A and B are shown apart, each in its own frame.
Chain A
Amino acid sequence: MSDSIQKTTFTMPIGPIHPAIHEPIRLDLSVDGEEIVDVDVAAGQVHRGIEWIGMNRNNPVQSIYLAERVCGICSACHPFTFVQAVEQAAGIDVPPRAEYIRVIIAEMERIHSHLLWAGVAGHEIGFESLFHLVWRVREKVMDLTEYITGNRNSKAMYQIGGVRRDITEDQAPTIRKTLDYYKSVFDELKKLLLDDPTVKMRTRGVGVLSREDALRLCAAGPMLRASGVAADVRQDFAYAAYADLGVRAITPDIFTGAVAGDTYDRIVVRLLEVKQSIELIEKALAAMPDGPILTEPKIAKLLAVLKKADGEAVARTEAPRGECMHYVRMKAGEDVLEAWKIRAPTYANLIAVPTMLIGQQIADVPIAFASIDPCLSCSNRAVIVDRHSGTRTELDSEQLHDLSVEKTRRLNSELTYK
C-alpha cells in the first residue's frame, strides 16, 4: 500500500509566513496510525539573504546590526561571533574589560533564552501554569538587560574592537540583586521542571538522540550535551573571557546519574546551564579589569582600518542553542565583505530531527521538536501521510498542540487512578 503514496508538490494554504509565527518551517511526517515512520524537514520559508547584504551593500560596522537581527532571541551571539571574526581578519585587538562585558551580556542572554525555552516546553505539553511561572521569572533578566543596554532585546552592545557601553560600578548592585533573585528561586524551578510527574511522563524517552547519532549528525549545544557529549564552545575554544573563567560542559548525568539523550535530559542541561550562567556573571563581575572598552571609538577611523583589511577568519561562540559560527573574508579596498557565512545552531540540529521523531507518536511531535529549541520557534503545519490509506492531512500548530495537551490529560488521569 505504501508504494501508492504519490509525492506531490505541497502548497501551503496560509502562505509561508503566518503573522503569528516568526520563523516557519514544515515537517513532512509519514505515519503508520499514530506512529511516525518517516520525517522530512522543509526549511527555508523565510530565507532573507542576510549574508548577501553583508557582501553587497553594507560595510562591516553596518553588518553588526544585521547580524544582530539574524534572530530575535539570540541577539547577542550573532554580533558576538561576527565581531570576533572581523577582528581576527583585520587584526584588531580587544581590550580585556570588553572581553568580560561581552561574556556578561552573552550569559544574560543564555539565562533568558533557556527560561523562555523551559516555558515553551511547559506550554507544549499543556502545562500552562508552569509556562506562566517560568516566564514571570524570566522577566527579571529582561529587566536587567534593559537596565544595562537600554533594550530588552537587540542590545547593540557589540562593536568591532570592543563593546559600545560600559558596565559601571553603580550598576553592579542591581546586577547582583537580580542574580541573587535567580539563586533564590532556582531550587523551586528545578523542583517544578525536573521532579514534576507530568513533565517526566511527557519528556522521558521522548525524542531520543543517542550519543553516536548526535556526533554523526553534528548536533550542537544542549542537544549534543544532553546526548552525553561534553562539548561546549566556551570550554573547547579560548574566546572572550571564557577561558579565564573556566567553563566546563554540562551533561545530564551530573544530575540524573546516566545519559538518556531524551527531552528530559535536555531540560536538565538547560536548567543547570542557567545556574552556570549566574555563576559566570558573578565571576566575570568580580574579575573584570579596569580599562578602555573600545580599541577605536571613532567609527570613521575604524572603517578606514576595515577597508584596508585583507584576510579571512572564522569565529565560534556558544549561543544558547549551541555552536554559532561566522566565516568572514575581507579584501583590501572593498567597503563590503568579500564573503560572509553564518551557521546558526538550529541549522545543525534540524538534521537530527528525523532521527529523533521516527518511532514517536504524533502527539509527541510538539515537545520533541521543541526540545531542540528550534530558532524557527514554531513547528507549525505538519503534513501527515497515512501509510495505509495514502491520504495526506494537514495539522496546524494548534491542532498538534491540542493533541499534545490531550495526551498529557490522558496520562495524568491514568496517574491518578494508580
Chain B
Amino acid sequence: MGILSARDVEQSFKDALDGALVTTRIYEREVGLNKNHYTSLWLDVKRDGFRTAVLHVCQLQELPHFTVIAPVDRGESVELLYHFALYHGHHLKAIALAIRVTLQKSDLTIPTISDIIPGAIFAERETQEMMGVKVTGIPDDRRLFIPDDFPQGVYPWRRDETGPHDMLRVLPGRQGIQHE
C-alpha cells in the first residue's frame, strides 16, 4: 500500500473495521506562507475492534510510529486516545492519527498492543497507574512513574472518588478541589 491521503486512510479504516468504527473526523489546518496542510485524523473505535484497528495501522505503514496514550476521565466513562504519527519519515505526508476507545467505568479493561508495537509498553504501564485502566495481557505490569509506596486504588488522572484529592495539601485560605 502506498501513501494514502487522510480521506483514503479514513475509508480504509471503514473497510477494515466495518461496524467497529463509530465515528471519524478529519482536521486540517493551513500553515505558514505556503499554506501547507497539517492533517489529523480522529477515529472512534469500539473495544472489540481496537486491536484490528492497530493491526490495520501496521498494514498502512510497516512498523508505524506510536507516540503515546492520552487517557481522559469523562465522568461516566474513560477515553483512551492512542496517538500515532502515520507516514512519519515522508516529507509533509505524515498524518496525526488518534484512535479513541471509550470504556465504561464499570469495565475498565483494554487489550495490550505491546505485542504488536513493543514501544507502547511505557504508555500502557502509565495508563494503568494513572487512570486505573487494566491492560490485559501486558508483559510488564509494574508501576512506571508512581513510587511503590503510593497508595493502591488512587489514580492521579481520575476526576472521581478514586482521584488524588484527599492527598492534596490545601494552602491556607484556599479551597480544596472538590471531586464530582
Contacts and interface: CB of A to CB of B under 8 A. Distances in A.
A293 to B, nearest CB: 15
Contacts of B72: 329, 338-339
Given A44-B147, A216-B63, A238 B156 contact: no
Given A99-B31, A325-B83, A343-B68, A238 B121 contact: no
B118 interface: yes
B178 to A, nearest CB: 11
Nearest to B32: A244
B37 A348 contact: no
A235 interface: yes
Contact of A236 (B94, B144, B156, B157): B94
Interface of B: 27, 29, 31-34, 36-38, 40, 42, 63, 65-68, 70-72, 81, 83, 85, 87-94, 96, 98, 117-122, 143-148, 156-157, 164, 177
A314 B40 contact: yes
B38 A237 contact: yes
A96 B33 contact: yes
A240 interface: yes
Given A217-B119, A325-B68, A47 B146 contact: yes
A51 B33 CA distance: 33
Given A244-B34, A343-B83, 16 more contacts: A43-B145, A44-B146, A56-B177, A215-B65, A230-B89, A233-B88, A239-B31, A240-B32, A243-B36, A244-B32, A313-B27, A314-B40, A314-B70, A314-B83, A327-B81, A348-B122
Contact of B119 (A44, A249, A325, A351): A351
A316 B31 CA distance: 14
A88 B96 CA distance: 13
B34 A231 contact: no
A243 B148 contact: no
Nearest to B121: A351
A325 B27 CA distance: 17
Nearest 4 interchain pairs by C-beta:
A218-B119, A44-B145, A236-B94, A341-B70
A416 B71 CA distance: 57
Interface of A: 9, 16, 43-44, 47, 49, 51-52, 55-57, 88, 96, 99, 212, 215-219, 229-231, 233, 235-244, 248-249, 287, 289, 312-314, 316, 323, 325, 327, 329, 338-339, 341, 343, 347-348, 350-351
Contacts of A242: 32
Contact of B65 (A218, A238, A351): A218
Nearest to A216: B118
Contacts of B63: 212, 215-216
A244 B145 contact: no
A217 B31 CA distance: 30
Contacts of B177: 56-57
Contacts of B83: 314, 325, 327, 343
B6 to A, nearest CB: 12
B25 to A, nearest CB: 10
Contacts of A350: 122
A43 B119 contact: no
A99 B29 CA distance: 14
A332 B94 CA distance: 30
A52 B119 contact: no
